[in-house]
Amino acid sequence: MKKNKTDRKQKEVKDMVVVDGTVVEAFANAMFDVKLDNGAIIKCTLSGNIRRFKIRINPDDRVQLGIGIYDSTKGRILYRYN
C-alpha cells in the first residue's frame, strides 16, 4: 500500500511535542530564542513551509513550535499566530 503525504505529516508530528511560546531574540540564519510558557528558553529554527512562504518572525511574536522527543534543547517553529 502506498503512503500519501498526509501519512508522512502525521508521522512527523508524532515525533514532536507541540507547544506554544514567545520569540525572545532573533539570530542569523533564521535561528531564534523562544521562551516557552513554563519559562524555559529553547533555540529554534524555521520549518520548511515558513521558509518557503517567507513568513516573517519578529521578537515578541507568539509561535507554535515542535520540540523533538530526543533533544529538548532544540525546536522548530511550525506556526506564527496573528
Ordered structural domains, the chain, with CATH: 5-80 (2.40.50.140)
Region 19-26: mean pLDDT is 97
d(CA 47, CA 35): 18
pTM: 0.81
Reported as a pLDDT band with limits 50, 70 and 90, residue 82 is confident
Distance of CA 65 to the CA centre of its chain: 3
Share of the chain above pLDDT 90, in %: 78
Q: Across the chain, what does the average pLDDT equal?
A: 88
Whether residue 58 has pLDDT greater than 60: yes
d(CA 70, CA 50): 23
Rg value, the chain, Cα: 13
